[in-house]
Structure 1
């Protein structure tokens, strides 16, 4: 599998980081996890084609995670692709319908198939040519009432993507023995915060639920994290034996066979 970090930032603009988006290439299928503002442009910069994306999988419905979804679907339509599959938490259908209400001229231009998910649900996403070659399992996160994290397994490799969350038992269990865990780390050490992650909140959770994923990538980085990346990774390494990496926009990670 190959991971491309499209957007590693948040709702506050900063140099080099757009809003949330991760592209997962299984070798057969292309899956987009979250699609915040700026992600459509990043897909183009990455060398991939937005019209080749098989499905969009949403962690939650905050604007910095869904802001470019309709723009992507419209861009597909302009190039002759008129279908898309979206997977997301409860409420995704209502959100999409209300968004289309604002842009009524786009109705009937394309077909969007939406599947709403609950925690602990397992599914195989549908691609352009049938089943994708991966299995996905969801878990509840500590962010919104319906927010979800995902564990993606393909060709004996595993990636877990948290979306936004405070560190929680459900995510730690979802990430057990994963090859890669992509975990948000919005704010620096000691920052008072709920529903998001700081390095010390993450390691506090590790004390109770040791992290067994092989590599940890930190994303969803607010401007307050600037200048404090090394501090964050050094702190986490005291509690975690794996590799800790600060994600960057357009960073590519290939998960090699053992």
Structure 2
């Protein structure tokens, strides 16, 4: 697939037989952005047929163990696989110290350039594969925690073939000039790019990480293609969810509806749910397009 999401682990805090700890691979034209890296993520990458050497960046939402304990091992495995090009690792304050201490006590340093960025709220990064990533603050208790809004790089504009034909244009070099924003002349008539060129929509993926309901999610997810939202519990456990800094499936659906997202993915599922159907049922009361993340499942956004 050209663009899509592979769910590597979808459980909350404790792995189960069917769900590993949080990790999401955003695949784009052969490169991968990894969102969170719970213990076991590198094994899931192997199961999914994704080489760690394809990683362009790793984005960590917060420094709870179930989201970050897999990172030191993954970094070391990449060196053993021969990685030599730079890797961007970004996340909240404390990320550099965590990796520094892991390196100190294991006596291992990467033989490839490791660029670690500790982000500020609403800070934007352009990732090595061209994606724009915005770290937005979420509410997961006292510890700094972020979600991420990922926007794919600008796509090559598309020629409206019907409009082009009516103007006497045929596929060829003139199409390329128009797509570059240059006007062309045919039979003495000036044809401007806006006469036939249409901008291609860009995919936006929003991942909340762990959070109780908060307005920042709605703000970050406005008009998104996909919202991957903390849905740890069903709404009958809303009080417990919010006390622990988490959301219910109903909370996720309400945020998705208010933000006008195209698709909602329920994520970070408590181990108490062998069958996620109750989560799915309550979310679908609010939002028409909902799926529950399953480990190793692929969400194809562009084949």
Question: How high is the TM-score relative to the length of structure 2?
Answer: 0.77
Any unmatched runs of 5+ in structure 1?
A: 127-131
Deviations 1:12-34, CA, capped at 9 Å, x for gaps: 23111110000011215311111
2:95 — aligned with what?
92
- Partner Cα separation in structure 2 for residue 99 and residue 245 of structure 1: 36
SS in 1 for 2:291: strand
Instruction: Report the secondary structure of 2:97's partner residue.
Output: helix
User: CA–CA distance in 2 between the matches of 1:220 and 1:193?
Assistant: 12
The aligned counterpart of 1:101 is: 104
8 Å contact from structure 1 (residues 120, 138) kept in 2: yes
Please state how far the C-alpha of 1:108 moved relative to its aligned partner: 5.9
Aligned to 1:224: 272
Q: 1:196 aligns with which of 240, 243, 246?
A: 246
Q: Describe the superposition over 1:148-203 as per-residue Cα deviations: whole angstroms up to 9, x where unpaired.
A: 01111114111001111112110111111111111111122211222101124445
Quote the Cα distance in structure 2 between the aligned partners of 1:74 and 1:232: 37
Q: Bigger shift: 57-66 or 107-116?
A: 107-116
Count of equivalent residues: 247
Report whether the alignment pairs 1:151 with 2:149: yes
C-alpha deviation, 1:237, in angstroms: 1.9
Name the SS for the 1:223 alignment partner. coil
TM normalised by structure 1 equals 0.89
How far 1:206 moved relative to its partner?
A: 4.1
Q: Which residue of 2 aligns with 1:134?
A: 131
CA distance in 2, matches of 1:72, 1:190: 37
Equivalent of 1:214 in 259, 262, 272:
262
Superposition RMSD on alpha carbons, in Å?
1.9
Describe the SS at the equivalent of 1:64.
helix
1:36 to 28, 33, 38: 38
2:282 is aligned with 1:235: yes
Say which SS state the counterpart of residue 247 (structure 2) adopts: coil
